[in-house]
Every structure is written in C-alpha cells, then in structure tokens.
Homo-oligomer: A and B are copies of this chain.
Amino acid sequence: MSGPDTQTGTLWGVGVGPGDPELLTLKALGAIRACPVYAHFAKSGRPGNARGIAEPHLPENARELRLEYPFTIEVPLDDPRYPEEMAKFYDASAEHVAAELDAGNSVAVLCEGDPFLYGSYMYLHDRLAQRYETRVVPGVSGMSGCWTAANTPITHGDDVLTVLPGTLPESEMSSRIERTDAAVIMKVGRNLPKIASALSKAGRHQDATIVERGTMEGETVTRLSDWEEGRGAPYFSIVLVPGRKGIR
C-alpha cells in the first residue's frame, strides 16, 4: 500500500562474501529473500561482482537497482576530480535507494566481502543510516577468501597484522611492512612493481603470495617470486605476507 501511512522500508547492507556463492551466510540469505529490491554497485558494461556472487540466491521476483559508477576507467585517487565526482555519485545513489525505502520497499544492498571493511556500501550507510532503519550483515572478507585460497594461515598467536592499500608511496609501504608480522596489500593492479620493490626492501619478497579472484572461477595463487615480469595484475588482486608462526 502506498499513501501517507506507508511504513518506510529497511536498509540492509548485506555482505555476500569473497566470491564463492556458498560463502554467503544464512543471515545474508534471509535478508536477500526478505527484500523486494536488491541494489548493487557496478562498473559500466559489467554485471557487477556482488550481484554475480549473490545471483544463485536472488528471488525471482526481486527488482534490481543498479548503481553504476561514473567512470569506465580508473581515475587516480590524487586527481582532484575523483573525490568530487565520487561524492556526487554516492549522493545520487543514496537518493535512488531512499526513494525505494520511502515507498515502503526494503532494499538489500549487496556488498562483496564485509560491508564495513573497505566496502562501497559505507558511502550509502553514511548517508542513510540516520534516516532509515538500517541493518548490516557482516560477511566473509575478500582477504579471508584469498588467504584461504592460498592455503596460508595469515596470523598466529600475538602477530601484528597490517592491511595496506597498494596506493601508498613505496618508502611508506616498505617501512610499514618492515614493522609488521603479517601484511595484506590490497588494490594491487598497476601498483604491483612498486609493491614488489617495497617487499624486497623490507626483506619479505620471498614470503609473499599474490591471489587473483580468490574463491572465484579463474582463481590463481602465485608466489610473488614466480610472477612473470611485466605481467599485469587486476586491481582487486591481493598480496599476502604471512606472519610468524607463534607456537608450533
């Protein structure tokens, strides 16, 4: 029923995990099934990763709200247009979702990995959580999917773990790697040569593994020392450096 008495819908931020559709939680499944609308971010011309992961679980009669990024290529983070254009895009996306909620439709926002860990969902959450009833379902993170795919226990006992974006300057990356037991380096892509050099300077190159498409079709796991010179890596691959072994 629409009209002045319509109850607003609930905003759900639903972590769908790292890639394998079997890595959705029971709670995520319940949330997706309870919402008449699912929303997801996607690049132009692409079906969207989060949607692809949730696909086998989407109710037949649910409506899709596709939130398409304004860039077909990566704009560097230091380009002044980047934060401005992205903020506008997230504002507009939030209003699309709000329109559904105002109409009384609960919306499941599908999020790769865990919504609160580097997720785009947070830009909706920051804009809408004060205005609407909001629930978040944590998910298996992309990095958990990757270290499991690589069969690499990442931290034991009292290891320090540092999660770094590959966008950091090389000297900063290298000194942070030197001071940690375990490291996860995200946003690899064209940053790979810099990452490899930072790992060498920190004395950890031999320990590093690169995982592409962890838990997904086409998954690859390669020791960084076996990586072909000049071979490109996708932006969303991850480099892993396991911690010390603790108690054996």
Contact = CB atoms under 8 A, between A and B. Distances in A.
Given A115-B153, A141-B144, 8 more contacts: A22-B30, A77-B157, A86-B247, A87-B248, A114-B141, A116-B152, A117-B155, A137-B148
A160 interface: yes
Given A126-B245, A144-B138, A116 B153 contact: yes
A98 interface: no
A168 to B, nearest CB: 8
14 contacts: A15-B140, A22-B26, A22-B27, A23-B138, A86-B247, A116-B153, A118-B157, A123-B248, A126-B245, A139-B140, A140-B140, A141-B144, A157-B165, A162-B162
A194 interface: no
Q: Name the residue among A126, A129, A158 with the largest chain B CB count within 10 angstroms.
A: A158
Interface in A44-98: 77, 82-83, 86-87, 90
Given A116-B147, A144-B139, A247-B90, A23 B27 contact: yes
A191 B148 CA distance: 31
A221 interface: no
A42 interface: no
B153 A18 contact: no
B138 A18 contact: yes
Given A25-B17, A162-B162, A164-B160, A153 B125 contact: yes
A213 to B, nearest CB: 15
Nearest to A121: B153
